[in-house]
Amino acid sequence: METVILAVIEKLPGVTGYIYPNEYELHWGLLIVLYPYLTGLVAGAFILASLERVFNVKALMPVYRLSLLTALSFLIVAPLPLLAHLGHPERAFEMFLTPHTQSAMAMFGFVYAWYLMVVLLLEIWFDYRANIVTWSKEKKGLIKYIYKILSLGATDISEPAVRFDGKIGKIITIIGIPSAFLLHGYVGFIFGSVKANPWWSSVLIPIVFLFSAIVSGMAMMLLVYMVTTMFRWKQTNMKCVNKLAEFLLYAIIVDFSLELLDFIHRLYESEESINILSEMISNRLFISLIISQIVLGTLIPVISLVMGRFGRFPDEMRRMLYLVAGVLIQVGIFSTRWNIVIGGQLFSKSLRGLTVYKLELMGVEGVFMTMLLLLLPFLALLILTKILPPWNESETDIVLPLKT
Amino acid sequence: MDDQKTQMERREFLNTCARKLPEFIMLFAVVGGAEILSAQEEQKYDPSGHNYAMGIDIHKCIGCGRCADACKKENKVPIEPRYFRTWVERYIIPSAGETIVDSPDGGIDGFPEPDKGMDILRTFFVPKLCNHCASPPCVQVCPVGATFISRDGVVLVDEKYCVGCRYCIQACPYGARYLHPVKKVADKCTFCYHRITKGLRPACVEVCPTQARVFGEAGEQSSPLRRFLRFNDVTVLKPSLNTSPKVYYANADGEVR
């Protein structure tokens, strides 16, 4: 019987060369691809919000609150793929109760908790407090009481009190920027610090993660803002989207340069692992790395953004170009996460062979589960925008086409 | 009448007790004695007095796979061919071209004949297992501390504590860990901890017909392992990763990774 099983598995299509016998099972699947993708969006959306708050980029005002709510929606969902992937999810809380302080993964729990509790929730609360108090007086029914609870009893909306809120909000944002850097840089560190894996083990990985996070978060906000504006039948604030596209373009150029640097550095150093990694790129990751990440996810969006931002086009055409760039960047960044997480497990640590990843449709680690987890943040965002509307009606009506 | 009956029952009870007394004494003596003995046994084993390690002589390994088989049986390792606490690799170095490595079913059922026409320069077998590193990356990354170094220098997994995140599997450079398909926790070689703490040798060492595997105390002057380390040029796997493995290989080729 054993021999029969062996004979069947030994001829697994796609496995080439020699891999250690325990390496036939890929340990981190689609859910772990999703997790850095989601946290990246959180960090990116928050950094975008902080551009308005700390660096006074007033053109981005229409997306400020929306970015905070988007960051929160994605942050709530981000731990779910991790939890679903554990062998014993019921023991997950042990990471907080008895953490192993030397473990990057254990400490991430605290970085996450800090970011959620101290940065994001507090900033949103201080930013909305005056509105919440007003709404708790104006609204009727159940929602009135929800606002009363949300105000936490702080009902003073006198001018000094509101000014105080603003000041505290700014301080939190200043703390929030390094925290957002930490949040996603740390996710990169979880991978980058695995010395056993030459594909992951790079000091650049946390930095690349960070910049790709900024890119994905900004692109997501561009999409969320344009789509929500469309569905609310409001005119898009072109000054805002142009500025957003401009920042996105700078971020994507920095991100791509870093990735290129990492690539060239590996190629030039040409360490022991270079042969198997080159084989992996050309045989296993060609579509997801070369086509999806670089061509579709980076080069076309860059062209699209340059044309949209600096070309002489009507606003509708610009919006179309931004939309294309936004969607393709999401595809590209998801591919980036895929290439890191899955790519890091496609070659054997014996550096003598390649394996394959079989995507499953159903099941906890399947495509459907992933799609559900991808939709969940948008549902959370929908609910959040109902409770805490981020729209500024007077501003969305103003059309300011930018002539360049 | 009732009173009399009670008195008779009491007398009867006391009589029975008196008759059975020697048996009771015997029973208590046996149970108590066993407890004292087992307590003494436990006291005898002091983990802090040990530092276990293993030596493997590649020249002696004949690739019979008995070690991998014994390990699976002794430790109830899942029988499917994709879970191993120890396995045997075969290296074929041809006169020209790439080295060929294989380990069908961990070497348990032997190895297929190499291609007839191949011009083979050298060939040898390499048994692999957890290296019980002194600086183990798996222990470093475990988020809850479920994997740890015991006081006797063995890297172990607490299966009642492991959350099954698989970070340790990713961190192990030697592919020595797997996720137990039923228990859903990380699993690996324990040097047969249940045996060595009783003074026995690990199952793989016990069954090896050529004594290619040597187990023992790394620190003791008179241990067989000490002798192995003294009379062989030894190396460890992937020394550049600075994991300080405690499985030492004698006569290992540079091709072994």
Residues 168 to 227 of B: which have CB under 8 A from any A CB?
169-179, 183-185
Tell me which residue of A197, A217, A204, A306 sits closest to A260, measured CA to CA: A204
Domain regions of chain A by residue span: 28-88+96-384
Q: Are B206 and B86 in contact (CB under 8 A)?
A: no
Instruction: Please count the residues of chain B.
Output: 257
CATH class of B53-250: alpha beta
Q: How far apart are CA B187 and CA B83, in angstroms?
A: 9
Closest-approach residue (CA) in chain A for B102: A18
Across the range A46-59, mean pLDDT stands at 89
Interface contact flag, B102 A85, Cβ < 8 Å: no
- pLDDT recorded at residue B25: 77
pLDDT value for B18: 80
- Least CB–CB distance from A351: residue in B105, B185, B257: B257
pTM: 0.88
Q: What tens digit of pLDDT does each residue of A73-104 get? A: 999 999 999 999 999 999 999 999 999 999 99
Tokens read off for A277:
């990694």
Interface ipTM = 0.90
Of A166, A225, A222, A223, the closest CA to residue A396 belongs to A225
pLDDT at A12: 67
Burial of B31 (0-12, 13-18, 19+ CB in 10 A): exposed
Average pLDDT rounded to a whole number, residues A14-43:
94
Interface subset of A 96-115, CB within 8 angstroms of B: 98-100, 102-106, 109
Q: Compute the mean pLDDT over every residue in chain B, rounded to the nearest whole number.
A: 91
The HSE-up count of residue A299 (CA atoms within 13 Å, CB side) is 9
Answer yes or no: are the C-beta atoms of A346 and A277 closer than 8 Å.
no
Enumerate residues 21 to 80 of chain B having a beta carbon within 8 A of any beta carbon in chain A.
79-80
Give me the sheet containing B100-102, strands edge to edge. B100-102, B86-94, B120-129
Q: Each residue's pLDDT tens digit in chain B (257 positions)?
A: 455 555 667 778 778 778 878 777 777 666 666 666 565 555 678 999 899 999 999 999 999 999 999 999 999 999 887 899 999 999 999 999 999 999 999 999 999 999 888 999 999 999 999 999 999 999 999 999 999 999 999 999 999 999 999 999 999 999 999 999 999 999 999 999 999 999 999 999 999 999 999 999 988 888 899 999 999 999 999 999 999 999 999 999 999 98
Q: Could you give the angle at the alpha carbon of B55 between the alpha carbons of B51 and B57, nearest 5°?
A: 175
Cβ of B104 within 8 Å of Cβ of A10? The answer is: yes
Encode pLDDT of B96-114 as tens digits.
999 999 999 999 999 999 9
Chain B window 236-255: which residues touch A at a Cβ cutoff of 8 Å? 241
Residue B80: what pLDDT? 83
pLDDT at B6: 58
**How far is the C-alpha of B220 from the C-alpha of B233, rounded, in Å?**
19
Q: How far apart are CA B6 and CA A317, in angstroms?
A: 107
A289-328: b (≥16 Cβ within 10 Å) or e: beebbbebbbebbbebbebbbeeeeebeebbebbbbbbbb
- Compute the C-alpha angle A289/A290/A294, nearest 5°: 90
What's the residue count for chain A?
404
State residue A8's pLDDT score: 41
CB distance B163–A5 less than 8 Å?
no
If phi > 0 it is left, if psi is from -120 to 50 it is alpha, else beta; for residue B65 that is: left
> In Å, how far is A82's CA from the nearest CA of chain B?
8
CA distance linking residue A221 with residue A50, whole number of Å:
13
